[in-house]
Structure 1
Amino acid sequence: MSTPSIQNNPLIGIWKLISATAIHADGTVAPEVYGKNPVGYITYTLDGHMMVMFARSDRSPLSQEVQSPLSSQMQSLPVEELAQAFTTFNAYAGTYTLNGNTVNHQIEIASIPNRVGTTLVRTFTLSESQMTLLTTPVLSDGVEQVFELVWERV
């Protein structure tokens, strides 16, 4: 696998998140796993780098004004409030390679530290100005699921 040139790489650019859905192994669908109107962007560059971030659009604001995540204000917030902020946001960045309709994200930095140094495999389909990414099956709360994220080219 190698980084494709711009001529044969349909992913290059910036994409805005339209929807996030969970598809259970039994075929049932859980729409809106990141809320009714999730927000997010994924970017693929010509030189083989990528970054993605997305969140629920209905995230609660923090109870205090926080100027920096390293500030004492952040450290003094209730653990439950920090957990809520963390679990409604996802981000990672690194490099990527293409192989047919599969894109492999090699993670260098991530909001979930355990993902650093791993490869996340996504299959993709393209139609007009939209891209759909499907995760490999994951076990979540004892249920096998595939997550489907639909993006629109910016």
Structure 2
Amino acid sequence: MRAADLIGTWWLEAYCSIGEDGGVHEGPLGADPCGLLFYAADGHMSVSMMRAPGTGPGFMGYAGTWELCGRQVIHRVLVSSHDYLVGTRQHRDAELADDRLTLHAVAPAASGRAGRRLLRWRRTTGVGR
């Protein structure tokens, strides 16, 4: 995978939590989240995600810069809907297959133990889903 392979716009298909048993569970934005991820050729990026319309409040997003290091995408967060993310480096293990990008993330849990997340994106060339 090359950095050029990631440049463009991606539509969120799934945002799941992975349990300690390896089971896949509904993620923090519900069963049918919406989202867009942008990777620009100049090294800037932005991600915005929300619960499906009409299913209650829930939004998260951030923007900053990105780079590809091996099979890992690193996001440097400059602005965020969550203060604790600003100034951090978010590491994402990345898998690319055709027009699907899967990112594996680790998120802090309220219990103090990290939770694993899986985000699956589809490259989009038009408007909407």
- TM-score normalised by the chain length of structure 2: 0.85
Runs of 4+ in 1 over 3 A off after TM superposition: none
Where 1:9 maps in the other structure, the secondary structure is helix
Which of these two proteins has the greater Rg computed from alpha carbons? Answer: 1
Unaligned runs of 5+ in 1: 1-6, 61-84
Q: 1:39-93: CA deviations, max 9, x gaps?
A: 0100000000000000110443xxxxxxxxxxxxxxxxxxxxxxxx3xx110000
Equivalent pair of 2:3/2:67 in contact (CA under 8 Å): no
Going from structure 1 to structure 2, the CA distance change for 1:132 and 1:96 (only over 3 Å counts) comes to same
Going from structure 1 to structure 2, the CA distance change for 1:128 and 1:35 (only over 3 Å counts) comes to same
The equivalent position to 1:9 in structure 2, one of 4, 8, 12, is 4
| Residue 7 of structure 2 is aligned to residue 38 of structure 1 | no
Q: 1:11-34: CA deviations, max 9, x gaps?
A: 100000001100022323213542
What is the one-letter code of the residue matched to 1:141? Answer: A
Equivalent pair of 2:3/2:68 in contact (CA under 8 Å): no
Structure whose residues are more often strand by fraction? 2
Equivalent pair of 1:122/1:133 in contact (CA under 8 Å): yes
- TM-score normalised by the chain length of structure 1: 0.72
Could you tell me how far apart the structure 2 residues matched to 1:97 and 1:32 are? 25
Q: What is the count of residue pairs matched by the alignment?
A: 121
Could you tell me how far apart the structure 2 residues matched to 1:116 and 1:109 are? 6
